[in-house]
Structure 1
Amino acid sequence: MKVIGIEIDKKRAICVVVSKDDQDTYTNHTGKTKYVEIKDDQNNQEIQNFLKEIHELFDTVQPDQIAIISRQTKGKFAAAAVSFKLEALIQCYQKTTVSFVSKQTLTAYYKKNKLPVAFDNAYQENATRLAAYVLR
């Protein structure tokens, strides 16, 4: 099974691809596409380019599932509006299920469990944790 874990951070979607085989071995397949970014969310061409690039990544990987770390919609720590725009574009992908997992769920799970797969860069940690969590 192959999962893409996504953390939306400001104007970029950090994507990590993790698989698990029949022997419960986790493998990171992220490769060179580490994130997809949008610079100006008011520019229609950039929105279309983001949609095209993220969906091409999904088509290339052919994941069994896509998961996104959910963000707060209200309050002091509410996520930026542009992040919800990116989330909606990701959810438009029709070839597999897109689910959400809260950061609190991940934190609670990893207090008791070890992350079974490595990541390349520190900014990929949350997306890697998410993908491994979905594969458990």
Structure 2
Amino acid sequence: MKAVGIEIDKKRAICVIVSKDANGILQNVTGKTKYIEIKDDHNNQEIQDFLQKVETFFDEVAPNSIGIISRQTKGKFAAASVSFKLEALIQCYKKTEITFVSKQTLTAYYKKNELPVSYDNAYQENATRLATYLLR
């Protein structure tokens, strides 16, 4: 089984792939694609390229589950509008259901459970936590 955890941060979707073998062993198998980024969200070609990259990435990985960390829509800590555009493009993927998990849910889960896999860069921590959570 494979799960992709995604954290959307400004103009990039940070992606981590965690696999689970028949013995229940979890492993980070992210590889070279650590994030998918867009530079100009008003450029139609870049939007289409982002969607193409997302679909190609998911097709290559063939995940059993995909999750996105929920972000606030209102208030002082509301996420940037471009991040919701990226989220909508990711949700266009039809081959695997995409679920949303809040940071509070992940925090509560990891207060009682250890993160059994490592990540390469600090910015990948939340996406790694999510991918691992999806395979629990």
TM tier, smaller: over 0.9
SS at match of 1:79: coil
State the one-letter code of the partner of 2:57: L
State the one-letter code of the partner of 2:130: L
Q: Residue 97 of structure 2 corresponds to which residue in structure 1?
A: 97
Q: How does 1:25-104 map to 2 (within 5 A)?
A: 25-104=25-104
Give the distance between the partners of 1:71 and 1:112, measured in 2 at CA.
23
State the 1:16 CA deviation.
0.3
- Structure 1: any 5+ residue segments left out of the alignment? none
Q: Residue 124 of structure 1 corresponds to which residue in structure 2?
A: 124
Q: Residue 112 of structure 2 corresponds to which residue in structure 1?
A: 112
TM-score normalized with structure 1 length? 0.98
Any idea what the Cα deviations from partners look like across 1:105-129, whole Å, max 9, x if unmatched? 0011111110011111110000000
State the 1:130 CA deviation.
0.2
Residues paired across the two proteins, number: 136
Give the distance between the partners of 1:55 and 1:9, measured in 2 at CA.
19
State the one-letter code of the partner of 1:27: Q
Q: Percent identity?
A: 75
Give the distance between the partners of 2:134 and 2:64, measured in 1 at CA.
11
Give the distance between the partners of 1:127 and 1:17, measured in 2 at CA.
9
Q: Residue 17 of structure 1 corresponds to which residue in structure 2?
A: 17
State the one-letter code of the partner of 1:28: N
Any idea what the Cα deviations from partners look like across 1:50-87, whole Å, max 9, x if unmatched? 00011100000000111000000011100000000000
SS at match of 1:96: coil
Give the distance between the partners of 2:4 and 2:106, measured in 1 at CA.
15
RMSD: 0.5
State the 1:22 CA deviation.
2.0
SS at match of 2:14: strand
TM-score normalized with structure 2 length? 0.98
State the one-letter code of the partner of 1:101: V
Give the distance between the partners of 2:107 and 2:22, measured in 1 at CA.
26
SS at match of 1:36: strand
Runs of 4 or more off by more than 4 Å in structure 1? none
